[in-house]
Amino acid sequence: MELRRCSRRTERKGSGVVIERLVLKNFGRFQGKVLTLEPGLTILYGRNEAGKSTIHAFIRAMLFGIERPRGRAGRDDPYTRYLPWDTPAAFGGSMDFELDGKHYRISRSFHKSSRSVSCICLDTGREVSLPSGRITDLIPELTESLYRNTVSVEQQKARTDAELAEQIRNYIANLAAAGDCEVDVRRALKKLNGIRKQLDAENPSGRIEELGQEIQAGEEALSFLAEVPARREALLLRQKELARRMAEERTESGGSASVTSRGEPHRAPSGLSEEYPAIREKYRVYQEYRKQAGALSHREQELKRALWEEQRSRTEQGMLRERMAELEEIRAAYRALDREEPDDSGEGDWEEAREERRRPDPVRRLKGALLAGLGMLAAILSLLLADAPAAYLGAAAGVLLAAAGAGYGLLSGKRSREESFGSRNQRSGRRERMEDLMRQRDEILEECGVSDEASLRAMYEASLRSEAAAAQQRQQADALADQIREMEHRIAGIRREIADYAASFGLSLESGPDDQAMAELDRRVGASERESGERLEGWKKEQTECEIAMEKLLWELERAREEEERLEKNRAEYRDLTEAMKQNRKEHEAVLLAIRTIEELSARIHDSFGGHFGRMLSNTLADYTGGEHTSAYLDEKLNIRVGCGEHHIPLERLSIGTMDQACLALRMSVAGSLLGREDIPLILDDCFAYYDEERLERVLASLAGGGKRQILLFTCQEREGEAADRLGLPHHDICLP
């Protein structure tokens, strides 16, 4: 909202720079505050902590922005001091002002996350570019340093800082040397000093000295190269010797190992120790082979017993074969006698032959029966069909025919037997021979212990089968014998290997390896492994040391090559920098000559034209003090000295009020010269606290008497307004609640 006014308005006179309106959107303790300002003298009243210094700081922030310094300087900077607590993101505001008849508005956001600035010409509505973001883009003469040291006087800070002294010095030098204050002699000196510093920084003398030391150190470091070949040869020889010893330790035969009085080897090759797991495995295989050999021997014995039994029965088998042959001969002879082909039917054939001899011939009997039947049929037909005489004759013939057929059938068996055996004597001889053959057969069966020929044949076939099984058993026995020989060969080989290995450790295994002997071998191998391990470990350690030494030597050689390259580069750089240093010295001397010339010229100019500021300062100070101090000047360091009688004393020896008046006089004098315009608003924040009433009136009359510039006077007292009223100075009052 717009703050309450306490006095009348006056008409605008002329044009220049006038701050018209301030909008503190969010700045410090203010939020949405609006201040409307007028040309001429404006007195802003307010108690302590009413926000006077905040408004003063807001004007400066709108003109030049707020930069947040880093580090310790940022703890009490304006950004942190005036950042709103409640709404920090809305940190900002705007300011309307008039410049040379045109009206502008600057709007700013000060928050670090949304910092922005814009300037709009209110007359045209167009945006005005501010490349630097400062009012300096519109008023080039108004820099922040000049603003702070001339037209802006903060509370109890009337004294200027070192920047103002430098600007005054540069202004005097420019004005005197070129007749134009736009020529920046200070910048020229700064540039020359920059060139001098750059030449100093580029001066290679330090680098040349450093290179000289590096070249000397490099030459000393390369002095060891003469010893490198001998050291390398010694290391190579030692590595070969260690490798030979380690190879012998691993691979030499153990047959030459000597044995101590306790039966322990003095030294067994480590290669044999490494083979010990294989020996243990061979011992396990040895035991397994022995078990297998025992099982095979047992099986062989069983087969031998079976073959012996078969050999004993082979004689009986031969006898059976002979008897079967005799029986076949008897069978053949018997069948020859019986005129029948011998077959393999056995005893039944012999019995059937006997019965066959007793039976008549059935064919002849059938023929006789048919003939008898035909005779009887003819007799019957004759009686039935023919007349009595013929019938009787036919019946008689039929009866005769039937009788003849019956007689033929009865006599057929007798004739058959007579035809088979011949005469009775011949039949008796054959019977005796056949009976003799039967007796021989029975004797053979009795001798073989069987009752019939089928049993004998079954016994013979069983004998043949037994012979086939015996042949298979003989093959198995031969195969087992081969396996046993192969197993014994393997066992013997493993036994020799284990015995030879044990002999390497001084252990005799004449009776063959067993668990007790292997336990002793375990102990001796363990002792040998420990001894061999200790030797190998020592050699390995020494070999590692040799490798490290060789690597170090190679590293030193690599470093030496790099050092040689670096040394050559340093020598070349040393030569180049020596030439560059000569050129640098020439340029440095030329720059120093230019700086001395300008400084001497500036000193003479200060002596000639420095009095200009002294006179301006003296006139202004005499006006402020009512003639009590009419003389003042700036020494060579631009410090104020005030005349008191015949002496000029430093400003620090005067009262605080006089010191403030002298500093204000210096500000106003400098503002008129350096700013080049007298219409820049003057902002005074409680700077008259140490003024008495008389000097206060004189200062107000001097500042506001012409009415050329806008004056914003912040105060917590009413004495400034009363003094203005007494002087008849028009003013505008704003009360800050």
Question: What pLDDT digit, counting tens, does each position of 26-78 carry?
Answer: 999 899 999 999 999 999 999 988 999 999 999 999 999 988 776 555 556 88
How high is the pLDDT of residue 252?
Answer: 54
How high is the pLDDT of residue 663?
Answer: 85
Instruction: Give CA separation, 467 vs 306, 458, 461, 470, 477, in Å.
Output: 12, 14, 10, 5, 15
Question: What are the φ and ψ backbone dihedral angles of 21, each rounded to 5 degrees?
Answer: -155, 135
pLDDT exceeds cutoff 50 at 569 = yes
Among 179-193, 240-254, 362-376, 400-414, whose mean pLDDT is lowest? 179-193
pLDDT-based confidence at residue 255 (cuts at 50, 70, 90): very low
pTM of the model: 0.46
How high is the pLDDT of residue 609?
Answer: 52
d(CA 39, CA 180): 32
Helix (H/G/I), strand (E/B), else coil: 416: helix
Distance of CA 186 to the CA centre of its chain: 60
Segment (H or E) for 619: helix 515-625
Q: What is the mean pLDDT of residues 607-614?
A: 63
Helix (H/G/I), strand (E/B), else coil: 335: helix
How high is the pLDDT of residue 266?
Answer: 42
d(CA 308, CA 452): 30
Closest Cα partner for 696 from 619, 704, 285? 704
Name which residue leads in pLDDT, 662 or 536: 662
pLDDT-based confidence at residue 400 (cuts at 50, 70, 90): confident
User: What b-and-e string marks burial along 270-286, b requiring 16 or more CB atoms within 10 Å of the CB?
Assistant: bbbbebbeebeebbeeb
Residue 153 CB neighbour total at 10 angstroms:
26
pLDDT in tens, 346-390: 444 555 554 555 555 666 667 777 777 777 777 777 667 656 666
How high is the pLDDT of residue 686?
Answer: 87
Question: What are the φ and ψ backbone dihedral angles of 229, each rounded to 5 degrees?
Answer: -60, -45
Name which residue leads in pLDDT, 145 or 684: 684
Name which residue leads in pLDDT, 26 or 570: 26
Closest Cα partner for 621 from 595, 601, 648, 597? 648
Among 6-20, 378-392, 428-442, 716-730, whose mean pLDDT is lowest? 6-20
Q: How would you write 428-483 as a 3-class SS string?
A: HHHHHHHHHHHHHHHHHHHHHCCCCHHHHHHHHHHHHHHHHHHHHHHHHHHHHHHH
d(CA 110, CA 62): 10
How high is the pLDDT of residue 425?
Answer: 57
pLDDT exceeds cutoff 80 at 241 = yes
Closest Cα partner for 648 from 662, 667, 660? 662
pLDDT in tens, 143-178: 888 888 889 988 766 666 555 555 555 555 554 444
Beta strand 92-99 with 731-736 is unpaired
Q: What is the mean pLDDT of residues 650-656?
A: 81
Segment (H or E) for 207: helix 205-221
pLDDT in tens, 296-339: 888 877 777 766 666 655 666 667 777 777 778 887 887 777 65
How high is the pLDDT of residue 116?
Answer: 93
Residue listed under structure tokens 């802006």: 152
How high is the pLDDT of residue 522?
Answer: 86
Helix (H/G/I), strand (E/B), else coil: 636: coil
- Name the average pLDDT for the chain: 77
Closest Cα partner for 108 from 53, 67, 156, 155? 67
323 and 444 in contact (C-beta within 8 Å)? yes
Closest Cα partner for 271 from 290, 294, 246? 246
How high is the pLDDT of residue 570?
Answer: 84
Instruction: State the amino acid at position 671 in one-letter form.
Output: A
Domain 1-141+677-737 has CATH 2.30.40.10: no
- Give the pair of three-digit tokens for residue 1: 């909202």
Closest Cα partner for 83 from 56, 112, 60, 55? 112
Query: Who's near 704: CB < 8 A, 6+ residues apart?
Result: 40, 41, 711, 724, 729, 731
pLDDT exceeds cutoff 90 at 284 = no
Question: What are the φ and ψ backbone dihedral angles of 506, each rounded to 5 degrees?
Answer: 75, 25
Q: What is the mean pLDDT of residues 719-726?
A: 91
pLDDT exceeds cutoff 50 at 12 = no
Q: What is the mean pLDDT of residues 231-242?
A: 84
27 and 54 in contact (C-beta within 8 Å)? yes
How high is the pLDDT of residue 493?
Answer: 86
pLDDT-based confidence at residue 123 (cuts at 50, 70, 90): very high
Q: Where are the domains of the chain?
A: 1-141+677-737
Name which residue leads in pLDDT, 589 or 303: 589
Name which residue leads in pLDDT, 86 or 63: 63
Closest Cα partner for 574 from 199, 203, 207, 221? 207
d(CA 376, CA 370): 10
d(CA 360, CA 415): 9
d(CA 395, CA 398): 5
How high is the pLDDT of residue 537?
Answer: 82
Long-range Cβ contacts of 722-727 (<8 Å, 24+ apart): 723/693, 723/696, 723/697, 724/41, 724/43, 724/700, 726/697, 727/697, 727/700, 727/701
Instruction: State the amino acid at position 478 in one-letter form.
Output: D
